[in-house]
């Protein structure tokens, strides 16, 4: 995937001027936020479980070498194979090696951000193996030769007429006059076409939401069931996952499961949470004959010793981007690489280098919503600040340093973004521990280094704009 | 050096620990053996009968349908009725599960065939080892009794679960499974299923029946 993070500002300007994208992004605003809030509110223990989730991940990361060894041991005793890959290239070669040994011509794929990160599809294609994405959103963007614009809803930047267009262009053996005006007809068409691909595939590749050390199990979480068909029908199942997916026990997974779907889609639990351990057993009538896990590092072991270590707690729920005013305004592609939104702004500079992604940590209005909703309590704004400091220290170039301020000003000048972000932040501050009536910093008012005391307009947590509107009404 | 050694070495360097630290090892072993429970929501901690009601309510909330019969002998009739009401063919595919096999299918018009699914079966029938009241979730395990393909390929999935196997929370289910399969061991596949398959990938519109079953019907026994 071509990396375009360096031109974030240009990407953002284009995104703001793209009516189709803006139409599609309105579904993020309405779709995810209320649902998450309702699901979290319906579980009284939700916030407490966020604490245990954070603690489980911290504990695991502090003993990651040992849990990896324990996990590996259990996978082997269940008859599976574990392959470590320090780099993306190494992971690609390993996957290709397994596919070649299996004489694979087509490979079905469950949704995997790690596969996106290492560029698996392009690589397999270059080597004569056809990858078929089976998650509906991934399938759509594969047809359109696009990258994902969201980590759990990869095609969220598209409208149904664009999907229809792609289906008509790709499925040319179907009657041209068929009705595809409704989302259901699009879904049914994809279901029919992919069903055949599932049954014909030689290898199935999935990601993993968790790798369980206690039992040597990989866990996938889906709503469609495509990940399951990917991993039970072909002869060979390959899991690609990164080192921080390890969780000690099934009980620990249960804690984090209670956070994941609620934070992601506002469901209590996703439809399918599937635990896979090794290949099929001797008397199993279905399931794969071979089970491989490719464990990717790609810079994460270094992160573990850095100020970005807490980002390794991320469970890829997407809540931080759903609640980010910048993401909502410009969509995921503007970020220029596979991980968009606040978590992308923290991860991308580590994974592809600060030279290429150094702009992303500036793509923020500092409203703090991402940290507020992150189920793993990752201090995303603080980490973005660390990157900006690093970029500054490196004196990359005066132009790059100035660019940061320019980007901030760019967002500050957009009234819709500004209103939304400040309204949220003021409520947080007004309800928070900071004494009523005074803020230590007014979001968006002082760049990111100045801290001044601002009198709260009326000590009631409303913004100037809201109060102005209220006054005009009463006048 | 292999990728494995490199990665483990880098992790240890980042954590500033060395391989021979017995204290760290003891902590890891204690967690893997002790498997401490975290916070288990109060929601599912109910007497048996209320647990079944919560399970049904949660399963219905995610678009599953739930029926209940008093004893295993009543299941075939309930299944036949469900198929009729939904205009489905009176033919089901199922594995070799002893509970299901012991039911009087001959008393109904339902034709029963056995084995995994190849995608040609309209209705699959399985026996879940457990239910979880907290989220209306079914727990299905792979093997000749209940082939995993039956959970995903047929358009309609009917799942039988005993009322007494409905737990309040996931943790209880893990304990039971480990008792059955040995500590630290699981069957090849454990499926937690919460409602029929769905997708919201097109304009965030929720649609049922993405790749898995369009319909999930649960029969609670007892
Ligand atoms: S950083 Fe937090 S909110 Fe964002 S995807 Fe990761 S876990 Fe979810």
Looking at ligand 1, which atom is closest to the CA of residue A264? Answer: 8
pLDDT at A456: 35
User: End of a domain among A274, A298, A322?
Assistant: A298
Residues of chain B neighbouring A302 (CB-CB closer than 8 A): 10, 14
Give dist(CA B108, CA B123) in Å, integer: 16
User: End of a domain among A249, A280, A298?
Assistant: A298
Beta carbons of A140 and B201 less than 8 Å apart? yes
**Residue located via tokens 């039956």:** B150
**Residue located via tokens 């009523």:** A436
User: For A180-225, where are the alpha helices, taking DSSP H only?
Assistant: 183-200
Q: Which of residues 181-200 of A touch B (CB under 8 A)?
A: 183-184, 186-188, 191, 194-195, 198-199
Got the DSSP string for B158-211?
A: EEEEEGGGEESSHHHHHHHHHHHH-TT---SEEEEE-SS-EE-TTTT--EE-SS
Residues of chain A neighbouring B190 (CB-CB closer than 8 A): 274-275
Got the DSSP string for B78-93?
A: HHHHHHHHTT--SEEE
- With a cut of 70, say whether residue A470 has pLDDT above it: no
ipTM attached to this prediction: 0.97
Evaluate whether A239 touches A246 at the Cβ level (below 8 Å). Answer: no
Report the number of distinct structural domains present in chain A. 2
Q: What is the mean pLDDT of residues A281-292?
A: 97
Evaluate whether A331 touches A377 at the Cβ level (below 8 Å). Answer: no
Residues of chain B neighbouring A85 (CB-CB closer than 8 A): 3
What percentage of residues in chain A have a pLDDT greater than 70?
A: 83
Q: Which of residues 23-62 of A touch B (CB under 8 A)?
A: 24, 27-28, 30-32, 43-45, 48-49, 52, 56, 59, 62
Beta carbons of B116 and A285 less than 8 Å apart? yes
Looking at ligand 1, which atom is closest to the CA of residue A311? Answer: 1
Q: Which of A36, A148, A314, A383 to mutate to test the pocket of ligand 1 (most atoms within 8 A of CB)?
A: A314
Q: How confident is the model at residue B64 (pLDDT cuts 50, 70, 90)?
A: very high
Q: Residue B131: name the closest of B160, B100, B167, B157 by CA.
A: B167
Q: What is the DSSP letter of B72?
A: G
Spell out the SS3 assignment of A11-25.
HHHHHHCCHHHHHHH
In this predicted model, what pLDDT tens digit does every residue of B91-118 receive, in sequence order? 999 999 999 999 999 999 999 999 999 9
Residue A307 lies in a domain: no
Q: What is the mean pLDDT of chain A?
A: 86
Task: State chain B's maximal CA–CA distance in angstroms.
Answer: 69
Beta carbons of B203 and A159 less than 8 Å apart? yes
Give dist(CA B86, CA B90) in Å, integer: 11
- With a cut of 70, say whether residue A396 has pLDDT above it: no
Evaluate whether B156 touches B213 at the Cβ level (below 8 Å). Answer: yes
Residue A339 lies in a domain: no
Q: What is the mean pLDDT of residues A18-23?
A: 91
Q: What is the mean pLDDT of residues A73-95?
A: 98
**Residue located via tokens 């703001």:** A16
Q: How confident is the model at residue A31 (pLDDT cuts 50, 70, 90)?
A: confident
Beta carbons of B198 and A65 less than 8 Å apart? no
Give the residue whose CA is nearest to atom 4 of ligand 1.
A320
Distance from CA of B172 to the nearest CA of A (A): 9
Q: How far is CA B206 from CA A12, A161, B62, B210, in A?
A: 29, 17, 11, 10
In this predicted model, what pLDDT tens digit does every residue of A399-447 receive, in sequence order? 544 555 556 566 666 655 555 555 554 444 444 333 333 333 334 433 3
Q: Which residue has the higher pLDDT, A29 or B134?
A: B134
- With a cut of 60, say whether residue A474 has pLDDT above it: no
Evaluate whether A148 touches A116 at the Cβ level (below 8 Å). Answer: yes
pLDDT at A416: 59
Q: Which of A148, A320, A322, A332 to mutate to test the pocket of ligand 1 (most atoms within 8 A of CB)?
A: A320
Distance from CA of A195 to the nearest CA of B (A): 8
B24: nearest CA partner in chain A: A63
Long-range contacts of A49-52 (CB under 8 A, 24+ apart): A49/A255, A49/A258, A49/A259, A49/B38, A49/B39, A50/A259, A50/A375, A50/A376, A50/A377, A51/A377, A52/A255, A52/B38, A52/B39
pLDDT at A362: 83
Q: Residue A113: name the closest of A163, A156, A154 by CA.
A: A154
Q: How far is CA A117 from CA A222, A316, A321, in A?
A: 19, 13, 18
Got the DSSP string for A118-151?
A: HTHHHHHHHTT-EEEE-SHHHHHHHHTT---SSS
Q: Sheet with B111-114: list strands edge to edge.
A: B65-69, B215-221, B156-162, B123-127, B91-94, B111-114
Give dist(CA B217, CA B81) in Å, integer: 12
Q: Which of residues 94-153 of A touch B (CB under 8 A)?
A: 134-137, 140, 153
Beta carbons of A228 and B191 less than 8 Å apart? yes
A291: nearest CA partner in chain B: B188
A181: nearest CA partner in chain B: B202
User: For A201-282, where are the alpha helices, taking DSSP H only?
Assistant: 226-232, 250-264
pLDDT at A400: 46
In this predicted model, what pLDDT tens digit does every residue of A129-178 receive, in sequence order? 999 999 999 999 999 999 999 999 999 999 999 999 999 999 999 999 99
- With a cut of 90, say whether residue A398 has pLDDT above it: no
Angle at Cα B179 formed by Cα B174 and Cα B180, nearest 5°? 100
Q: What is the mean pLDDT of residues A98-114?
A: 96
C-alpha A452 chain-centroid distance:
34
Distance from CA of A197 to the nearest CA of B (A): 12
What percentage of residues in chain B have a pLDDT greater than 70?
A: 100
**The residue count for chain A:** 475
**Closest in B6, B147, B151 to A86, CB measured:** B6
pLDDT at A62: 98
Q: How confident is the model at residue B16 (pLDDT cuts 50, 70, 90)?
A: very high
Give whichever of A20-29, A178-187, A440-449 has the largest mean pLDDT: A178-187
pLDDT at A383: 93
Kindly report the number of other CB atoms within 10 A of residue B40's CB atom.
20
Give dist(CA A147, CA A333) in Å, integer: 8
Give dist(CA B222, CA B163) in Å, integer: 5
Residue A334 lies in a domain: no
User: End of a domain among A276, A298, A320?
Assistant: A298
What percentage of residues in chain B have a pLDDT greater than 90?
A: 94
Evaluate whether A316 touches A346 at the Cβ level (below 8 Å). Answer: no
Domain boundaries, chain B: 3-34, 45-221
Q: How confident is the model at residue B204 (pLDDT cuts 50, 70, 90)?
A: confident
CATH 3.40.50.10420 fits B45-221, yes or no: yes
For testing the chain B interface, which of A42, A44, A269, A311 should be mutated: the one with the most B CBs within 10 Å?
A269
Give dist(CA A25, CA A34) in Å, integer: 15
- With a cut of 70, say whether residue A449 has pLDDT above it: no
Beta carbons of A254 and B8 less than 8 Å apart? no
Residue A429's domain comprises: 404-474
Q: Compute the distance from residue B34 Cα to the ligand 1 centre, in Å.
A: 29
For A429, the enclosing helix (H) or strand (E) is helix A415-431
Residue A175 lies in a domain: yes
Are A440 and A292 part of one and the same domain? no
> What is residue A59's three-state secondary structure?
helix
Give dist(CA B26, CA B35) in Å, integer: 14
Which residues are B68's β-sheet partners?
B220
Q: What residues flank ligand 1, with Cβ below 6 Å? A: A 263, 314-320, 343, 374-376, 378, 380
**Closest in B31, B137, B210 to A223, CB measured:** B210
> What is residue A240's three-state secondary structure?
strand
pLDDT at A393: 74
The dihedrals phi and psi of A224, each to the nearest 5 degrees, come to -85, -30
What is the C-alpha radius of gyration for chain A, rounded to an integer number of angstroms? 23
In this predicted model, what pLDDT tens digit does every residue of A327-349 receive, in sequence order? 998 999 999 899 999 999 999 99
Residue A292 lies in a domain: yes
Q: What is the mean pLDDT of residues B155-168?
A: 98
Beta carbons of A284 and B144 less than 8 Å apart? yes
Give dist(CA A222, CA A273) in Å, integer: 7
Residue A338 lies in a domain: no
Q: Residue A163: name the closest of A202, A189, A129, A196 by CA.
A: A189
Residue A14 lies in a domain: no
**The residue count for chain B:** 222
């Amino acid at each position: 995937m071509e990396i375009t993070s360096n031109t974030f500002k240009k990407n953002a300007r284009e995104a703001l001027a793209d009516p189709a994208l803006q139409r599609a992004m309105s579904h993020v605003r309405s779709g995810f936020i209320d649902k998450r809030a309702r699901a979290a509110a319906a579980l009284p223990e939700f916030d407490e479980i966020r604490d245990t989730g954070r603690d489980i991940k911290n504990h695991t990361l502090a003993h990651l070498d040992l849990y990896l060894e324990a996990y590996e041991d259990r996978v082997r005793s269940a008859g599976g194979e574990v392959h470590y890959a320090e780099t993306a290239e190494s992971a690609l070669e390993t996957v290709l090696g397994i596919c070649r040994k299996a004489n694979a011509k087509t490979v079905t794929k469950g949704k995997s951000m790690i596969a996106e990160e290492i560029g698996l599809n392009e690589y397999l294609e270059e080597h004569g193996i056809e990858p078929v994405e089976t998650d509906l959103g991934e399938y759509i963007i594969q047809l359109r030769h696009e990258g994902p614009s969201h980590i759990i809803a990869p095609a969220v930047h598209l409208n149904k007429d664009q999907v229809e267009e792609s289906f008509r262009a790709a499925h040319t053996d179907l009657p041209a006059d068929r009705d595809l005006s409704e989302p259901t007809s699009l879904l049914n068409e994809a279901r029919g076409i992919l069903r055949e691909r599932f049954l014909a595939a030689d290898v199935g590749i999935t990601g993993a939401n968790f790798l369980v050390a206690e039992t040597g199990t990989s866990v996938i979480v889906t709503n469609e069931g495509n990940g399951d068909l990917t991993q039970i029908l072909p002869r060979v199942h390959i899991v690609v996952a990164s080192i921080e997916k390890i969780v000690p026990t099934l009980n620990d997974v249960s804690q984090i499961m209670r956070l994941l779907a609620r934070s992601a889609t506002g469901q209590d639990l996703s439809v399918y949470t599937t635990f896979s351990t090794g290949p099929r057993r001797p008397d199993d009538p279905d399931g794969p004959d071979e089970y491989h896990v490719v464990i990717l590092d790609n810079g994460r072991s270094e992160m573990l010793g850095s100020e970005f270590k807490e980002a390794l707690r991320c469970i890829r729920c997407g809540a931080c981007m759903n609640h980010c005013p910048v993401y909502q305004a410009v969509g995921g592609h503007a970020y220029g690489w596979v991980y968009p939104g606040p978590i992308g702004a923290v991860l991308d500079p580590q994974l592809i280098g600060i030279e290429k992604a150094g702009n992303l940590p500036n793509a923020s209005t500092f409203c703090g919503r991402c940290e507020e909703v992150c189920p793993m309590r990752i201090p995303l704004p603080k980490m973005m600040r660390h990157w900006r400091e690093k970029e500054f220290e490196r004196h990359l170039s005066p132009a790059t340093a100035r660019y940061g301020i320019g980007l901030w000003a760019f967002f500050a000048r957009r009234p819709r973004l500004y209103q939304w972000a400040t309204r949220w932040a003021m409520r947080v501050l007004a309800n928070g521990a900071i004494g009523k009536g005074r803020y230590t910093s007014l979001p968006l008012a002082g760049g990111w280094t100045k801290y001044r005391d601002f009198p709260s307009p009326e000590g009631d947590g409303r913004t100037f704009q809201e109060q102005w509107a209220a006054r005009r009404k009463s006048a | 050096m292999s990728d494995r050694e490199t990665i483990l070495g880098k992790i240890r360097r980042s954590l500033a620990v060395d391989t021979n630290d017995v204290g760290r090892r003891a902590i890891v072993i204690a967690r893997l053996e002790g498997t401490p429970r975290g916070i288990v929501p109060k929601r599912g901690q109910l007497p048996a009968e209320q647990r079944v009601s919560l399970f049904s309510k949660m399963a219905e909330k995610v678009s599953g349908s739930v029926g209940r019969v008093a004893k295993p002998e009543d299941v075939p009739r309930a299944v036949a009725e469900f198929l009729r009401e939904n205009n489905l063919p009176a033919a089901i595919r199922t594995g070799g599960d002893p509970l299901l096999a012991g039911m009087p299918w001959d008393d109904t018009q339902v034709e029963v065939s056995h084995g995994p699914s190849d995608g040609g079966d309209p209705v699959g029938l399985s026996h879940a080892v457990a239910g979880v009241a907290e989220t209306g979730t079914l727990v299905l395990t792979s093997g000749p009794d209940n082939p995993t393909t039956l959970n995903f390929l047929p358009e309609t999935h009917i799942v039988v679960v005993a009322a007494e196997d409905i737990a309040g929370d996931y943790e209880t289910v893990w304990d039971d499974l480990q008792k059955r399969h040995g500590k630290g061991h699981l069957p090849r596949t454990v499926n937690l299923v919460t409602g029929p398959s769905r997708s919201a990938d097109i304009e965030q519109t929720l649609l049922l029946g993405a790749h898995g079953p369009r319909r999930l019907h649960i029969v609670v026994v007892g």
